[in-house]
Amino acid sequence: MNIENIEAFLYVCQLGSFNKAAEALYLTQPSVTARIQSLEREMNIKLFNRAGNKISLTEKGEYFLPHAQKILQSYQEATYGLQQVFIPYELVIGSALSISNNVLPNILPAFKSEFKDVRIKILTGHSKDILRKVINKEVDFGIIRTEAHSQIESIRLYNDPISLFVPPNHPFLKKEKVTIEDVGEHPLILFDYGSMDWLFIHRLFLSKGINPNIYLEVDNMETAKNLVLQGLGISFLPAHCVQKEIEHNKLFRVEMDPDIKTNISIDFIYLQGKSESVFMDFFKNKMFEQQ
């Protein structure tokens, strides 16, 4: 039985029209009609009642519909399963969103070139979410901001300095350096409430008795960066998060007086007792090279 004929039958049933089925299948209407007619001849039954532009299933068509759905589903599952047979390994990586957006794209082409048959799946989320996925064996390893836990092994990849970033044409760009008092006069976008980085920035203002003009607080640095790009405020961000924007002159680093001496630590984590693999070594080495 021709699977394309069954597919055409199901599309006509779902969309209620030969023309709409043809559009969905990228075929002409006569081609869809020919497939239905071929299926009817093969089974020696009439599947549709036709009255002008209106169609409806015959009694035998109604009976055949669930069987046709099972046939197509079985075919699709078999096809997918056969494709998987030739993939010997799936590597599942957990990554903080900023790492997956700004660092992994520079590493993945080289990985795929060296390990052609390895299928990669990337799960993104907050560092705490990725930590849980490592512990629950949902990912092979994680690349996150430092999170301590007794069930994981961690390797420090690098320390990423935090700096103040502003959009083009911001008045701070006319100054050689700005103070925390200057920053307090402008809309500020902060990320990751309660983290060590968040607390450090708040202490900067508290030490000068300043109430910062906090325009928005968000849960991740990617959102904070995008809001700065939209001109909604300024933000303290780590270097890896803004590399492309700096290269394309979309964001600018502002020197501060005194200089900010804090950073985000990026770690490579995996389940305690788990042997390191050649894949894990590859990513660790490439991450080191990025610095």
Give the pLDDT confidence of 4-41 residue by residue, as tens digits: 999 999 999 999 999 999 999 999 999 999 999 999 99
Distance CA 228, CA 165 (A): 8
- The sign one gets for the Cα dihedral 167, 170, 174, 178 is negative
pLDDT bracket for residue 193 (50, 70, 90)? low
**CA end-to-end span of the chain:** 58
**Model pLDDT, residue 148:** 80
pLDDT tens, residue by residue, 172-186: 999 999 999 999 999
Q: What is the share, in percent, of the chain residues with pLDDT greater than 70?
A: 94
- What's the pLDDT score for residue 85? 57
Residues 224-266 pLDDT 10s: 999 999 999 999 998 888 989 999 999 999 999 888 877 888 8
Task: Quote the pLDDT of residue 87.
Answer: 54
Q: Which one is predicted more confidently, 221 or 290?
A: 221
Provide the pLDDT for residue 183.
92
Given this model, what pLDDT does residue 234 score?
95
For 65-106, the pLDDT digits (tens) are 999 999 999 988 888 777 665 556 788 999 988 888 888 888
pLDDT at 277: 78
The verdict on pTM exceeding 0.85 is no
Say which range, 58-62, 122-126, 142-146, 258-262, has the weakest mean pLDDT.
Answer: 258-262
Rounded (5°) CA angle 289-89-288: 10
User: What pLDDT is attached to residue 204?
Assistant: 83
pLDDT on residue 224? 92
Compute CA distances 22 → 1, 34, 75, 197, whole Å: 20, 11, 21, 56
Higher pLDDT, 15 or 290: 15
